[in-house]
């Protein structure tokens, strides 16, 4: 076998080894990504469902009329919490939300606020609520939202307010057909928060 032929075989062997190593790396990264996303999905979709008898205020986060307003009102009444805030950027156009902060569905015996957050995103709600909490001398709150949104709400409100305690209660029902979309939405929300540091 000539020198030139041996070099050609060695070159082919090196290319094959490089391709094999690259494929192993791609497969490993893919597996790690899938496992990481799966772990994040379960962490997002199965958050704790918290309550507190000593909270100063119940805050219903803006979003779908999925039972969160009714749950917030129920928590306020059950635990005797005297302050009730509904994030209500759409005003009277959001009939369910508006009814719970300015209409007939306000929890009995509570002071209520229709909060108009700016900007109309979760970090905007946290920053707007922070100002209201300072004005009212509130130190603890129960946020009410959907299950997939719970972790991000807790994270944002702990970092964007001066509250000593943030609990998050959530509506247990979930739209199974959009779980993947919701998980990606939450992941994107965390990434945007870390990149922009809005608080």
3-state secondary structure of 64: coil
**Are 8 and 31 found together in one domain?**
yes
Rounded to two decimals, what is the model's pTM?
0.83
Does residue 10 sit in the same domain as residue 85? no
CA–CA separation, 171 and 194 (whole Å) = 26
> Is residue 160 included in any domain, yes or no?
yes
Answer whether residue 18 is part of any domain: yes
191, 134: one domain: yes
Question: The domain containing residue 36 runs over which residues?
Answer: 1-45
CB atoms within 10 A of CB 196: 9
Answer whether residue 115 is part of any domain: yes
94 and 40 both lie in a single domain: no
Q: Is residue 51 part of a domain?
A: no
Whether residue 67 is found in the same domain as residue 133: yes
Domain count within the chain: 2
**34 and 103 together in one domain:** no
Q: What are phi and psi of 174, to 5 degrees?
A: -150, 145
Per-residue pLDDT of the chain (199 residues; tens, 9 = 90+): 455 555 555 566 666 777 877 777 887 788 888 888 888 888 899 999 998 888 999 999 998 889 999 999 999 999 999 999 999 999 999 999 999 999 999 999 999 999 999 999 999 999 999 999 999 999 999 999 999 999 999 999 999 999 999 999 999 888 878 788 999 999 999 999 999 999 9
């Amino acid at each position: 076998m000539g020198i030139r032929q041996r070099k050609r075989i060695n070159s082919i062997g090196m290319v094959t080894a490089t391709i094999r190593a690259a494929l192993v790396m791609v497969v490993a990264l893919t597996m790690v990504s899938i496992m990481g996303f799966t772990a994040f999905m379960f962490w997002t979709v199965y958050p704790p469902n918290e309550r507190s008898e000593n909270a100063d205020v119940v805050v219903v986060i803006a979003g779908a009329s999925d039972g969160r307003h009714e749950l917030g009102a129920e928590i306020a009444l059950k635990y005797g919490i005297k302050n009730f805030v509904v994030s209500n950027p759409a005003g009277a156009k959001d009939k369910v939300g508006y009814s719970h902060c300015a209409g007939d569905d306000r929890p009995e015996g509570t002071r209520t606020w229709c909060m108009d957050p700016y900007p109309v995103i979760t970090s905007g709600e946290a920053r707007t609520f922070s100002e209201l909490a300072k004005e009212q001398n509130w130190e603890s709150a129960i946020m009410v939202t959907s299950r997939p949104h719970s972790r991000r709400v807790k994270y944002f409100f702990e970092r964007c307010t001066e509250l000593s305690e943030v609990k998050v209660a959530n509506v247990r029902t979930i739209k199974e057909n959009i779980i993947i979309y919701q998980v990606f939405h939450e992941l994107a929300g965390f990434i945007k928060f870390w990149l922009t540091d809005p608080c």
